Structure 1
């Protein structure tokens, strides 16, 4: 009888022990807010935009407040152009939500399934999906940028870029193009803060912040034309690089080699020939074409030949009052020129590293890595084996204005304890691991 009485208790104890042992191997992890946002990017973005649309259509009295989210503001019917204003911020905000939704949809519903259908595991498919999104974005915006440039009066004539300044009116296409580009870089700041952090997180955060500030400053100061030219010269490189990386993930060695070679040639032409010519035009042509002084922010007319009305306040006054005076002087010229030259210097350093490493790989089959591996996570071993090539590591060009997503979106397939000089074979070009 005693044995029978203790038998159920023993059974329950054994059952609890079994359940406890099983749960200890697979602990339940609490979902963080960041992980929740990553998992619900599509829903959050589309819900926010849908709510704004609903308010816009259901409450006509609120349409003056909701309209700037969905269409460009400050149209001038008499001139057929758009000018700038504070409501442009709302268009940028809605574009950030739109880019977030489109990026997540394209990656999760198109590129990741496509990559997995070609034999790539989960993390590798995510890396390919990131590159696929970058291809779509830069293909679209480089095409639009080149169209605007080719149809302008400053096509291949850098001196003509400055002739229209400080004309405040721009076409609807130009305004949409510049605001959408700004929204993209703001959205990149959001992305790197919600997704899993990598070793280069703070470098990329700094880069995206500076890029956004430069685009904002150029827009406020009315440097629309030069912004169009700079973005067009930069975006073509960022279009070719993801193409080469996608071919690498898919194991297409020869096409990848060709794409990578074209990428290097285009980089040299666009960033080390055309871009320096643009900088030289700022140095030489701006003083000859632009008259130093202060102009009306509303009409663009010269109101004072004194380009230094105060010590520093005139530098930030256009940000405080869109219609207020906007001044041009040597200090402002050198601020913008120095920023562009700093990017050129970094581009030269990174391109020299690319060339040196690529030549070393071609000559000896290996090369010493003079850079740090900025990928903060390691791929699983089964994922590594599923890749015929090692994904390119782009720390060489990560902080460049138009190469921001190289390190950001590239994956490292290096196993732990794998030597740098062997891992380097898969970082530059499309060589097979040896």
Structure 2
């Protein structure tokens, strides 16, 4: 294991020329980021996950009950041993040939079997109360962390002058608040990985696992090579979007449609301004050109900037999706349903009535789930996150 770590953290790749890990050891005069610091993130991740469970059980859920959010999930499929065996052991999305075979075996029409599989898949989706509790936890966590971040960053010279992120790099002493902030953020993403594995599997499970792993890689890499000044700026830029996104979700779950539309509109504007203007024109520009001028390129410089450029490409893609959703909202007078909504749409009127009662929407046919952007937008936040 030690050999693998030594190979991974090769100083010739990660550090500028003529700089070694020995040069960045802690001294009495200055403290620098150390790989060993990140070991704290594992127990902290477990603690954050447990705090989340307690918060959702004793804070968020009572709030949902007080707000009279219904705890019922999608309509359950009628028990059927044959279809259940196919669903659990073979496929959740049977093809046309299998549907025809099941139709002959059960003496059901194909449409009824399709409806059964659709209802059975929806049974595994979380209820509105569950999603409300998750969003309330995310909103509360990001709010406190964002306030803490702005509180200590507003006094830092590199917050106002981006060139300060690279002056005397990498021999920049680590500030204790930055150290705590990074450990909390890494722990938070580890806790999300833990919850992804332990909670009910979502449609975007694979996408979110990749996203969280990428976020952890970016955070740990920027911490170890002491690019924490720029790292905190990039994270703060992304965190502010999370606040409005989660607030819009909460308003949607409580059927406050006007407030939901307002918050989602603010989120859309803020997302586009931060991701398409501030991030590329200031932060990305600094990592590409200021760092080149002051520090000069080295192997991990290319690696980090490559990842940051990928984030910008994703930001552009997500912004296009948001603009499309906002355009639909204006054209229809309401926010359109996200393509990756947790509840699948039905192709027939009967199912539309059944599912419409369970989708968190202002209208009876359940067409507004735009603030629940778990698939498209949350994966871009941090790293997004972030």
TM-score by length of 2: 0.69
User: Contact between 1:82 and 1:169, CA under 8 Å: does it hold in 2?
Assistant: yes
- In the other structure, the counterpart of 2:328 is 360
Shift of 1:361: 3.1
2:284 aligned to 279, 286, 308, which one? 279
- What CA distance in whole angstroms lies between the structure 2 residues aligned with 1:225 and 1:218? 9
Residues 46-65 of structure 1: matches in 2 within 5 Å?
none
| Cα deviations by residue, 1:164-194 (Å, 9 ceiling, x for unpaired) | 4112531211101011101101111111111
Superposition RMSD in Å:
2.9
CA contact (8 A) 2:329 2:336 kept: no
Q: Conserved in 2, the CA contact under 8 Å of 1:162 and 1:286?
A: yes
Counterpart of 2:358 (choices 374, 384, 401) is: 384
Match of 2:315 in 1: 347
Q: Which residue of structure 2 aligns with residue 252 of structure 1?
A: 256
Measured in 2, the distance between the counterparts of 1:174 and 1:247 equals 33
Tell me the equivalent position of 1:78: 28
Q: Who is 2:44 aligned against?
A: 95
**Equivalent pair of 1:249/1:388 in contact (CA under 8 Å):** no
Structure 1: runs of 5+ lacking an equivalent? 1-73, 293-328, 406-434
Structure with larger RCO (C-alpha < 8 A, sep 6+): 2
Distance 1:281 1:354, change over 3 A: same
Q: 2:304 aligns with which of 336, 344, 362?
A: 336
Deviation at 1:274, TM superposition (A): 1.2
In structure 1, distance between residues paired with 2:383 and 2:151: 21
The one of 190, 209, 213 equivalent to 1:209 is 213
Report the Cα distance in structure 2 between the residues aligned to 1:87 and 1:98, rounded to whole angstroms: 19
Partner of 1:397: 377
**Aligned 8 A contact 1:84 1:168 in 2:** no
Q: What are structure 2's unaligned runs of at least 5 residues?
A: 1-23, 72-126, 346-350
Contact kept, 8 Å, 2:135 with 2:250, in 1: the verdict is yes
CA distance in 1, matches of 2:360, 2:259: 19
- Structure 1 residues 60-139: aligned runs within 5 Å: 78-79=28-29, 82-122=31-71, 123-139=127-143
Structure 2 distance, partners of 1:279, 1:131, is: 30
Residue 298 (structure 1) aligns with: none
- The number of aligned residues is 293
Task: Please show how residues 171-186 of structure 1 align to structure 2 within 5 Å.
Answer: 171-186=175-190
Match of 2:157, SS state, is coil
The superposition leaves residues 32-90 of structure 1 with CA deviations (integer Å, 9 ceiling, x where unpaired) of: xxxxxxxxxxxxxxxxxxxxxxxxxxxxxxxxxxxxxxxxxx996833x5433343233
